[in-house]
Amino acid sequence: MTAAVRVFFLGGLTSYRALFNWLRPAYYFPTMLAGPLFQILFFAYLGRSVGAESDAFYVVGNAVQISAMAGVFGMAITIGGERWTQTLGPLLATPASRIAIFLGRAVPNLAQGLLVSTFGFAMSWLLVDFDPPRSSIPGLAVIVLVTTTSCTAFGMVIGALGLRLRDSFMIANPAYFLMLLLCGVNVDVEVLPEWLESISRVLPLTHGIEAAREVVSGAPLSSVVGLVRTELVIAVVYAAAAFFLLRYFEEESRRKATLDRM
């Protein structure tokens, strides 16, 4: 096993376990499963009570959106937590590949996003009026995978900004809830003001949620390839921006001796 592969797998796994202080796994379940489930149920029943949209509309929007919790907050904590414990300096002082270090921390969060989203869809099938055609499940899985990837890449950008800001949650919290508002999760983006709709089109989730709703309605995956491709391009752009910012802020922090300044 090469050094880069070892850093990727072992470093990523250790960092991910540290997110929840897994000496007490009870922290994990209310944070990553119960909270997202209640979000889906809240909006599904709210929409049902006012007769705005079907349960499926809210289930798909929120079940895809909750995958962003792992990507956005997970990556923010990965950087912010290293700074808080003052282990970021020794970590970046190593000659280890930066791609291996940060991708190793991103992949567990991506997997977690998939798990949370899958859990949300499964529990919605049990608890509310959500029964998608079985033929839509493979296409839905592909869409959720691509969307979760774009959310994780977006989270890496927020994590990179944590090298410069005192608290990465200053960006992570408003970013997450703005995605809930702007990305068509509970309100169709077409009813937003034009300038807000323009912002939503360059954020993760928007195209993925739109594609997921069409597939759940019975459309084949081939009919939403354009939406999925756009979501994938957004993921690539944010990932590239994250690696650029990580390298830039690392070099600036070394030059100005601000790497561990809180």
In a domain, 261, yes or no: no
Q: Which residues of the chain have pLDDT under 70?
A: 1, 3-25, 80-81, 84-85, 88-89, 91-93, 95-97, 254, 256-262
**Quick one: 95 exposed, middle or buried, by C-beta within 10 A (0-12, 13-18, 19+)?**
exposed
> Residue 132: CA atoms inside 13 Å, Cβ hemisphere, count?
25
What is the rounded distance in angstroms from the CA atom of residue 28 to the CA atom of residue 219?
36
Residue owning tokens 């001796």: 257
Residues 6+ apart with CB under 8 A from 39: 62, 66
pLDDT tens-digit series, residues 40-89 = 999 999 988 888 888 999 999 999 999 888 888 888 877 766 776 677 66
Give the 3-state DSSP-derived string for 162-192, with helices as H, strands as E and coil as C: CCCCCCCHHHHHHHHHHHHHHCCCCCCHHHC
How many CB atoms within 10 Å of residue 141?
A: 16
pLDDT (0 to 100) of residue 116: 93
In a domain, 228, yes or no: yes
What is the rounded distance in angstroms from the CA atom of residue 235 to the CA atom of residue 149?
6
pLDDT (0 to 100) of residue 106: 81
pLDDT (0 to 100) of residue 215: 96
Residue owning tokens 């949209």: 53
Number of domains present in the structure of the chain = 1
pLDDT (0 to 100) of residue 25: 66
What is the rounded distance in angstroms from the CA atom of residue 146 to the CA atom of residue 150?
6
pLDDT (0 to 100) of residue 170: 82
Q: What angle do CA 165, 200, 69 make, to 5 degrees?
A: 55
In a domain, 19, yes or no: yes
**Quick one: 45 exposed, middle or buried, by C-beta within 10 A (0-12, 13-18, 19+)?**
middle
Q: What are the structure tokens assigned to 116, written together?
A: 């949370």
In a domain, 262, yes or no: no
Q: Give the global pTM.
A: 0.87
Q: State which residues form the domain around 121.
A: 3-256
